[in-house]
A and B are shown apart, each in its own frame.
Chain A
Amino acid sequence: MSVDMIDIGRVDDVPLRGARLVQTAMGPLAIFRAEDGALYAVDDRCPHKLGPLSQGIVHGHHVTCPLHNLVIDLRSGEALGPEGGCVKTYPIEARAGRILLDVSALRRRGAA
C-alpha cells in the first residue's frame, strides 16, 4: 500500500472534543480530536442526510450529527442505531504535535 502522509496542521489547532475541516477537491473532510487526544478523519457528510458531522458534539469516540442526531462511531465510521449507515474514514496520525493525513487514501476516494 502506498502511504503518502502529509502535514495538514498542528494538533493543537483542533479543539479537544471538537473538529476542524479540511477542504479537498472531493469535498470537505472532518478532522476530529477526541477527549483522549485520538485523531480521526472522516468524510464530512452524515450517511443519513449529508449533515456536516464536523459541526456535531463529540463524545467519547463518537460524534452526534447536528442535523438529526445520528451517532457515528469515529473509529469505524459506522452509524449506531437501527438505520445503520457508514461514513468513510481515512488514515491519520499525530507526530511531534503535527497532524499527518494519508493523501493516497484521498486520491483513492477520488478514483473510486
Chain B
Amino acid sequence: MDENPALTPETAHMPKREKLVIIGNGMAPGRMLEVLLDLAPEKYDIAIFNAEPRVNYDRILLSPVLSGEKSFEEIIIHGDGWYIDHGITLYKGHKVVEIDRAAKLVRSEHGAVEAYDRLVIATGSLPIIIPVPGATRPGVLTYRDLDDVTAMLLASKSRGDAVVIGGGLLGLEATAGLAEQGMKVTVVHLMPTLMERQLDASAGHLLAKALERRGITVLTGANTKEIMGGTHVTGVRLEDGREIPASLVVMAVGIRPNIALAKQAGIETHRGIIVDEQLRTSDPAIFALGECAEFGGATFGLVAPLYEMAKVLAATLADREAAFAPAATATKLKVTGINLFSAGDFADAPGREEIVLRDAARDVYRRLVLEDDRLVGTVMYGEVSDGVWFFDLIKSGAPVGAMRETLIFGEAYASGAPLDPMAAVAALPDEAEICGCNGVCKGKITAAITSKGLTDLDGVRAHTKASASCGSCTGLVEKLLQLTLGETYLPGKPAGICPCTDLGHGDVRRLIIARELKTIPDVMQALQWKSSGGCAKCRPALNYYLLATWPGEYKDDAQSRFINERVHANIQKDGTYSVVPRMWGGMTSANELRAIADVVDKFAIPAVKVTGGQRIDLLGVRKDDLPAVWRDLNRAGLVSGHAYGKALRTVKTCVGTDWCRFGTQDSTGLGIRLEKFLWGSWTPAKVKLAVSGCPRNCAEATCKDVGVICIDSGYEIHFAGAAGLDIKGTEVLGHAKTEDEALEIIAGLIQLYREQGYYLERIYKWAKRVGTDTIRQLIMEDRERRQALLARFIHAQKFSQTDPWAERAMGAEAHEFSPLADLSRLEAAQ
C-alpha cells in the first residue's frame, strides 16, 4: 500500500472516503463488491486480502476444470484489470493473521497492515478431514480450491486408482472429474444412498447406476476406517474389512465455516460467525459474509443464498435498508450427462402428498411434494428442464390445485388454461406416437377402434399392438378408447398388484424377464412404480418374482419378506412364535422326539401340538429363544419345516408297502424322496403334498396342491386340490410308471408353477387361471419342456437348500433376535 498518499488536486477537495477492508476473495465478496460499486462507487477505499495467490474465480466451475471441460482462465470472474479499474488494492497470497479491533487494523502474515472503518470477514470454509488413521498421508487431498484441483489433475496423470470419500455434491463432482481424467474411481459413501441431503432414495439409486455405467464403483453404507500406505497413500480400508487400492484419496465429506480469525479476535461465533440480518457481527464495524457466516442457526454453502447475502451486505454498506432472509434453495449436480435437480423440502411429513412420474425408457424420475395445495419440494432425475419452473412455484408458494392433475408433466403441459388430461389426449394430432415400443400412432388406434368395432383394451392390443409390450401407454390407449367410443366405453378396473402400480402380476413377471430387471429398485423404476418405496403388498411379491427368475443372482431382500419368512417361524397373536421341525414324510424317531421334549422343557414352551401335516408344532416360543431352540433341534438332526413359508410345507404319507396290507408301492419312501428333493424351494404360495399307497387314500392326497395315489401299475399324479377356504378335489395330471418319472413330473409341475404363478396364488387357482388342460399338456405331453423345467428347478435348488435354522443358530441375522438396548433398569433407577 502506498504509505504516503499524495494530496493531488483531485483528492484534495473530495470528502474523505471511508476505508473498507475485506478478508477473503471468494465468490460472495466478489458479488458484494459488484453491487456495492454500483450503489455507492465513491463511498469507500477498498482493500482485499486473498489467501489464495490469485484473482477471484467461480468456485462452482472447479468441477469442469477438473474434468478438463474448462481452463482456469475461463472461470475467472474478476481479472487483475477489474481491481485496477476500480482502484481496489488486492493482496494476493496474503493470509490475514490478526484483527486488532481496538486499533481497527488487520495484519497479514507477510506483514501488510490495513486500517479499516468497516471490515468484512469472508474467510469461507474449510474441508472436513475425517479423523481416521492416515488422514494426513501424502496423496490424500480435499476438494475446495484451485490448488486441490491442480493437485488432483497432477495425480490423475498416473491413470491409477482413486478413492473419493463422500458421495455428496462435491464428492461426486470430484469422482466424475477424476474418472473423466482416466482414473479408476471408487466413491465411498457413509449413507445408504448418494447425495441423501439433496435426493431421495429413488433418485439416488438412478444416480448410482448412471455412475456405475461410467465405470465408477459406488459403495454406499461404507464407513472408512483407515487410509493405508507408507510415505504415500496405497488404499482405503473400510470398517467391514474391505480394502480398496488407491494412489489418490480425495476427502469430500463436507465443509465447516472458517471462523478461526474471527474467534481469535473475540467476535461472537458458534458454528459460524454469528450475524444479524444486515450481516453485522457482534462488533458493529465488522461484517461476515459467505460460508463463514451463521444466520438464524444455519450456515450456507450453496451459491444462491450466498449471493443473496452479498446483495444485502452491499446495500448495508451503502447505508441502505436491506435484510437477509434465506429462501428455498435448489441443487444441480455439475456432471456432464447426468441431470438432476432438487429444490425445497421434499422430506415426507404428515399432511404431505407426493406425485411421482417415472419414465423408465428414458431413466426419468420426478417427484413433487405438496402440502396445503402448494408445492414445497421436488426431486428430479434425467429430465430437469422444468426444474426452474417448479422452483419458482416453490418460492412463490402459489396454490397448484387447479393444475394438479397435470402439474408433474411440467410447464409446457400445465401452463395456460388448466388442461384436463382427456382434453390433452384429444388435442394430440393423428401422427402423435402413442405406443413407443411398437410405433403405433394415435390415428392408427382410433381407426382400428372404429373400423374393427373394438370395445376394450385387449381388442386394441390384439389389432394394433399398442400398449401390448411394456404397457406404459395403457392409460393413453384407454383415453383414446373413451374419446372414440364416448359413454359406451367402460374401462376395466386396473388390476394392479397394489396401489403402487397399474401393472398386474402377469405383466410384472413378464417384464422382469423381458427387461432383465434384477433388483426391486430396478423393477420400480423400469415399471414406473407410483410410490417411492413400494408397500407391504408389492415388495414381497417382487422379492419372490426376482428370486424365482434369477436364482443365484438375485440377493434375497429380508426387509421385503413377511416376518415369518424373515425369522423362519410363525408369529402368533401374542407376538411369540411357533416352531415346526421337518419330519420327512411324516416319519420321526425316539431320538427326535426326545430332542423335542428336551427343548420344550428347557425353554418352557407352553404348547405342543400335532399338526394336520404329520409334524409337531411347538407354540409360544419367545423370539429371543428361537436361535437357541433351533441349535438344540439341529443337534438331533431336525431342520426347519418351512411351516411359515410360501414354500414346500409337508409331504404327508401313509405307511404303504412297508406295513400296510393294501399298500401297492412304497408311499412313505416316495414321500420322503419328494420332500428331500423339493424342500427349501420358494413358491408363489404354500405347497402341500401327500402320497397315498393305494386308492383308499389314507394320506388324503386328493385335496392337496400335489397328490400321488399309488396303484399297481405305478403312480397316479394329481394336482390342484384345495382343503382350506375352498374345498376342491384334485385333477389328474397324469400317470408315471416309476418313482423317477413321478419325481420328474412333480418337480416340472412345481417349477412351472414357480414361473407362472402369481404371488399368493395357490396351485388350484393358478390351474384355474391358465387351464388344467394347458398345464397337463405342458407337463405330460412335452417331455423336452418338462426336462427343461426340471433342470431349472434343480439349478434353483442349489441356492435354496440350506437350513435357515442352522444359519441363524450359528449367528446369522442376529439382529432379528435380540433387542437393540434394554432400558428397563435405567428407567427403574430414576
Chain A interface residues toward B at CB < 8 A: 6, 8-9, 12-18, 20-26, 28, 31, 34-38, 49-52, 55-62, 64, 66-67, 69, 71, 73, 75-76, 78, 97, 99, 101, 103, 106-107, 110
Task: Kindly state the interface size class of chain B when it binds its partner.
Answer: 35 or more
Q: CB within 8 Å of A: which residues of B?
A: 190-193, 196, 200-201, 221, 223, 347-350, 531-536, 539-540, 558-564, 567, 571, 573, 575, 815, 819-828, 830
Shortest beta-carbon distance from A84 to chain B in Å: 14
Give the residue of A6, A75, A78 whose beta carbon is less than 8 angstroms from that of B349.
A75
A103–B192 CB distance below 8 A: no
Cβ contact within 8 Å between B536 and A59: yes
A59 lies within 8 A of B535 (CB): yes
Do residues B560 and A57 form an inter-chain contact, with CB atoms below 8 A? yes
Pair B531/A37 contact, Cβ less than 8 Å: no
Identify 14 new A-B residue pairs, CB closer than 8 A, beyond the known A25-B825, A64-B535, A103-B827: A14-B815, A14-B820, A20-B819, A25-B827, A35-B201, A36-B192, A51-B575, A55-B571, A56-B563, A57-B540, A64-B536, A75-B348, A103-B823, A107-B830
Closest B residue, CB atoms, query A7: B821
Complex-state Cα separation, A13 to B821, whole angstroms: 11
Which residues on the A side are within 8 Å of B821 (C-beta)? 8-9, 22-23
> Once the chains are docked, how many angstroms separate the CA of A13 from the CA of B815?
7
Supply 21 A–B pairs (Cβ within 8 Å), ascending by A. Answer: A6-B823, A9-B820, A13-B820, A16-B221, A20-B819, A20-B820, A22-B820, A22-B822, A22-B823, A23-B822, A25-B824, A25-B828, A35-B533, A36-B196, A37-B192, A55-B575, A57-B562, A60-B532, A66-B564, A99-B820, A107-B827
Whole-angstrom distance between the alpha carbons of A8 and B539 in the complex? Answer: 30
Alpha-carbon distance A73/B535, docked complex (angstroms): 12
Query: Which chain B positions have C-beta within 8 A of A97?
Result: 190, 223
A97 to B820, CA, bound (A): 14
- Contact status B201-A57, CB under 8 Å: no
User: Is B350's CB under 8 angstroms from A75's CB?
Assistant: yes
Contact between chains at B558 and A52 (CB < 8 Å): no
Report the separation of the CA atoms of residues A26 and B221 in the bound assembly, to the nearest whole angstrom.
33
| Residue contact A31 to B536, C-beta cutoff 8 Å | no
Instruction: List A contacts of B223 (CB < 8 A).
Output: 12, 97
Report Cα–Cα, A16/B559, bound state, in Å. Answer: 8
A-B pairs with the 6 shortest C-beta distances? A64-B536, A20-B820, A17-B559, A57-B536, A55-B563, A8-B821
Min CB distance A24 to B, Å, is 5
Choice from B193, B531, B563, B824 contacting A60 with Cβ under 8 Å: B531
Beta-carbon contact of B820 and A76 below 8 Å: no
* A66 and B562 contact, CB distance less than 8 A: yes
Using A55-B563, A61-B348 as known contacts, say yes or no to A24 and B824 having CB atoms under 8 A apart.
yes
Chain A residues, Cβ within 8 Å of B559? 15-18, 57-58
User: Once the chains are docked, how many angstroms separate the CA of A31 from the CA of B815?
Assistant: 12
- State in angstroms the CA–CA spacing of A20 and B559 once bound together: 12
Closest to A99 in B: B820
Q: A35-B201, A35-B533, A37-B191 are in contact. Are A60 and B823 (CB under 8 A)?
A: no
Whole-angstrom distance between the Cβ of B818 and the nearest chain A Cβ: 8
Task: State whether A69 touches B536 (Cβ < 8 A).
Answer: yes
A76 to B348, CA, bound (A): 11
| Alpha-carbon separation in the docked complex, A50 to B574 (Å) | 8
Which A residues are CB-close (under 8 A) to B196? 36-37
The distance in angstroms between the C-alpha atoms of A110 and B221, with both chains bound, is 36
- Choose from A13, A60, A64, A73 the contact partner of B350 (Cβ within 8 Å): A73
B563 A66 Cβ-Cβ under 8 A: yes
Q: Which residues of B contact A58 (CB under 8 A)?
A: 559
Contact A24 B823 (CB under 8 A): yes
Task: Please measure, in the bound complex, the distance between the C-alpha atom of A61 and the C-alpha atom of B369, giving whole angstroms.
Answer: 14
CA distance A55 to B822 in the complex (A): 18
Is B534 within 8 A of A59, CB to CB? yes
Minimal beta-carbon separation of A7 from chain B (angstroms): 9
Give Cα A9 to B822, complex, Å: 10
Cβ B827 vs Cβ A26 within 8 A: yes
Residue of A14, A26, A66 with highest tally of chain B CB at under 10 A: A66
Question: Is A52 within 8 A of B575, CB to CB?
Answer: yes
In the complex, A38→B535 CA distance in Å?
A: 17
Task: Pick the most buried of A22, A73, A76, A99: most chain B CB atoms within 10 A of its CB.
Answer: A22
Contact present for B823 and A106 (CB under 8 Å): yes
A99-B348 Cα distance, complex, nearest whole Å: 20
